[in-house]
């Protein structure tokens, strides 16, 4: 299965995919390309692994550009790995059940427009939740509302800080993402 990984930031999840492919854990997967919507460290990780990198400028044409790149390079699944731009409704419909995203909460809780990164963790801690987690889900036009593929929960206590919660999410999301990719590449 040829995948495209869309990135905007540090790319630690991209790195987890690169490593899993290199180590033979995702033997059915080829990273066809990495697409970035801004200059970011993830680009360096892709270039180090000799993966073709494309730049899709943020704006009204961005989704069409990504669509063209993915079509031309035979992509079968698009992985949003810390991708911060919102894809168009048309794009999400065209690639229905072929785009996946990771979210740092137990969706549907703490999802939706504006709920990303530390904002999620802040809200979880403010509400004194006793658990949080990570969700891997299909992407639909409605933000964070697509069918859940995999979820993993973990307990949190009253003393947990935002940094600790962010670290826990970062530790949990990588194996979960690899598991989801493994699952999807077998079907």
Strand ranges across the sheet with 77-80: 53-55, 30-36, 2-7, 77-80, 99-103, 131-138, 148-155
CB of 14 to ligand GRF, least distance (A): 6
> Has 103 been annotated as catalytic?
yes
With contacts defined by CB under 6 A, name the span among 10-18, 50-58, 88-96, 125-133 that binds ligand GRF.
10-18
Cα–Cα distance between 93 and 99 in angstroms, integer? 10
| 68/91 with CB nearer ligand GRF | 91
50-77 per-residue burial string, b: 16 or more CB within 10 A, e: under 16: ebeebebeeeeebbebbbebbeeeebbb
* The only residue of 33, 82, 107, 178 in contact with ligand GRF, by rule CB under 6 A: 82
Strands (E), the chain: 2-7, 30-36, 53-55, 77-80, 99-103, 131-138, 148-155
* The only residue of 3, 4, 6, 11 in contact with ligand GRF, by rule CB under 6 A: 11
CB of 81 to ligand GRF, least distance (A): 5
Q: List the interface residues with ligand GRF, window 102-121 (CB under 6 A).
A: 102, 104
| 32/79 with CB nearer ligand GRF | 79
User: Considering 2, 103, 121, 137, which one is annotated as catalytic?
Assistant: 103
Instruction: Characterise 61 by phi-psi region: left (phi > 0), alpha (psi -120 to 50), beta (else).
Output: alpha
| 60/139 with CB nearer ligand GRF | 139
To which H or E segment does residue 11 belong?
A: none
Catalytically active residues are 103
Residues that bind ligand GRF (CB under 6 A): 9-14, 42, 81-82, 102, 104, 169-170, 173
């Amino acid at each position: 299965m040829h995948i495209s990984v869309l990135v905007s930031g540090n790319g630690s999840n991209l790195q987890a995919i690169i490593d899993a492919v290199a180590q033979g854990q995702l033997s059915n997967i080829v990273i066809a390309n990495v697409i970035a919507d801004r200059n970011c460290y993830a680009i360096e990780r892709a270039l180090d692994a000799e993966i073709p990198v494309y730049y899709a400028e943020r704006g009204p044409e961005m989704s069409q550009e990504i669509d063209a790149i993915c079509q031309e390079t035979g992509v079968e699944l698009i992985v949003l790995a810390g991708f911060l731009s919102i894809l168009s409704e048309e794009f999400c419909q065209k690639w229905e059940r072929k785009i996946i995203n990771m979210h740092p909460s137990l969706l549907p809780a703490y999802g939706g427009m504006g709920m990303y990164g530390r904002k999620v963790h802040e809200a979880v801690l403010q509400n004194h939740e006793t658990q949080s987690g990570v969700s891997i889900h299909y992407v639909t036009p409605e933000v964070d509302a697509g069918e859940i593929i995999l979820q993993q929960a973990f307990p949190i206590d009253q003393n947990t800080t935002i940094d600790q919660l962010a670290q826990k999410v970062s530790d949990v999301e990588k194996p979960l993402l690899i598991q989801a990719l493994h699952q999807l590449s077998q079907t």
